[in-house]
Structures are given as structure tokens and as C-alpha cells.
Amino acid sequence: MSYQGSGKTPYQGDGRVFGEFRCTKCSRKWMSGNSWANMGQECQSCKVNVYPYKQTPLEKKTSDQDKCDLQKAHLSSLCEKCKILGYNCRSDYH
């Protein structure tokens, strides 16, 4: 049962969104304000790429979503988007 062709993530737009991740191997959960369409992040323990099971738009600048991510540095080495860009996707503001 494949899920709509290239759609690896619930969100399919161009912007950065808030993503919630859950590793299928160790069940570790994490959240990131740097989530992108069809981009995953690696589980720190298992080193496997995990796609977000839930993504929500980053609309409100004062939301808890962004605070949550700002408190800890964005882990570029675990982020598929950063690897593709070659720099921290967090710094890619427009």
C-alpha cells in the first residue's frame, strides 16, 4: 500500500514547518521547528532516517513550537534537509 507517490511526509509545501518525529525502532520521539516536505531527520540513537508523522505550519512567531526548537541547537548532522543544502536549514530565512 504505497501512499500517494512521492509524498513521504504529511506536508507537501515549500516552507519550513513544525514536525513531530517518532523512531520506529526505538520509539524515541522528538520535535523540530525545522521540518520540510519529504525530508526526514535521523534518530540520534539508531542513525536511521525518520519522517515526521505529523507536521503543522509555523504560523505564529511566538508559538511554543519555535521556542522548543530554539532552546536547543538544530542538529544539522541529523537533518536530511541540511545535508542536501550543505548548510544549516535553520539559517535559511527569507
Q: Residue 64 or 87: which CB sits closer to Zn ion?
A: 87
24 lines the binding site for Zn ion (CB under 5 A): no
Q: Please, which of residues 51-80 interact with Zn ion by CB under 5 A? A: 79
Q: How many residues bind to Zn ion according to rule CB under 5 A? A: 12
Task: Decide: 49 and 42 in contact? Cβ < 8 Å.
Answer: yes
Q: Residue 4 or 94: which CB sits closer to Zn ion?
A: 94
Query: Cβ of residue 38: shortest distance to Zn ion, in angstroms?
Result: 13
The footprint of Zn ion (CB under 5 A) covers 23, 25-26, 28, 34, 43, 45-46, 79, 81-82, 89
